[in-house]
Amino acid sequence: MITRGVLADLNDVATRMTNTQRKMSTGKELTRPSDDPFAVGRAIGLRTELDGLTQYRTNTAEAQAWTEASDTALGTLTDIAHRGRELLVRGANGTASATDRKMIADEIDQLINSAKEDANAVQAGRALFSGTATGVRPYDMTSDTYHGDTGDVVRTIGPGVSVAVNVRASDVLGDGTDGKMINTLRDIAAHLRGGTTADQTALSTTDVTALDRSLDDLLTARAHIGAVSSRLSAADGRLADLEESSRGLLSKTEDADMAATLVDYSMQQSVYQSALRAGAGIVQASLLDFLR
């Protein structure tokens, strides 16, 4: 009876020591669902949440790369528009000769080509300004037709929060017939070459306003991209905070408190040793030892 009791107690302490040892070696408070079913359920939920937040940060970084590439290309396009306006002013000046005007018109043709090249910019193999038809470049060099679509490139940057990160070339450069930048530049080149009085008048009136409108279009597009970009940075900061706090919460739920575990372990060890000693003492003594 005493033997059984001592044995049961020893086993009990040994089991508890094994558990503590497992906590120490894994660093985890929870190694199986039955350790604490509700905490394990919560840990699974927190891990899902944490993985989701990490994913949103990846999405945000991806969207940021897209906006940065777009912004660079739009910057170049703005430079082109400014150069176009400079040339227009020079061409509209009554002192320019026909040869001068023709040279200016040739340069404007080149400007149109480089604008189309810039609008054909790609990021990681995807055309930035084609809408959702990222597989095709917006323009080819033979015509002014826009080959993209009007779709939005959307990224999810938070639970239920999505943002369109693209600018379509059709909105800033147009398709050559809609009064946008390419159309305007083509008109300017034609007026410069034409050289009639009506052309001269158009150069200094309607063409100037049209080109200013195109510049406005570009500025609007850049402002949009800038706003998206700052929204993305803000979202990333917020996501980083959330990630931090939910990582902390997860760690609090499933990680072992090392100090407490170590104290537990050394206490159980001493209990085990004293149980062993007590067992050895009790089991030895018997009346047999004292009878002669």
| Binding interface with other proteins (CB under 8 A) | 1, 4-5, 8, 28, 30-38, 40-41, 43-45, 47-49, 51-52, 55, 58-59, 62, 124-126, 131-135, 149, 151, 153-156, 159-160, 162, 254, 286-288, 291
Please say which residue, 197 or 292, places its beta carbon nearer to other proteins.
292
For the CB of residue 133, give the shortest distance to other proteins in the complex, in Å.
4
For the CB of residue 289, give the shortest distance to other proteins in the complex, in Å.
10
> Whose CA is closest to 66, among 194, 2, 3, 157?
157
Please say which residue, 48 or 230, places its beta carbon nearer to other proteins.
48
Please say which residue, 46 or 202, places its beta carbon nearer to other proteins.
46
> Which helix (H) or strand (E) segment is 286 a member of?
none
CA angle 157, 162, 166 (to 5 degrees): 100
- Residue 280: how many other CB atoms lie within 10 Å: 10
For the CB of residue 75, give the shortest distance to other proteins in the complex, in Å.
23
Burial per residue of 181-193, b for 16 or more beta-carbon CB atoms within 10 angstroms, e otherwise: bbbbbbbbbebbb
Please say which residue, 94 or 125, places its beta carbon nearer to other proteins.
125
State the residue for tokens 């993305």.
232
For the CB of residue 103, give the shortest distance to other proteins in the complex, in Å.
41
47: CB partners within 8 A, 6+ apart: 250
The Cα 42–Cα 64 span in angstroms is 33
For the CB of residue 86, give the shortest distance to other proteins in the complex, in Å.
36
Please say which residue, 81 or 128, places its beta carbon nearer to other proteins.
128
The Cα 255–Cα 270 span in angstroms is 25
The Cα 85–Cα 90 span in angstroms is 9
For the CB of residue 185, give the shortest distance to other proteins in the complex, in Å.
28
Please say which residue, 156 or 204, places its beta carbon nearer to other proteins.
156
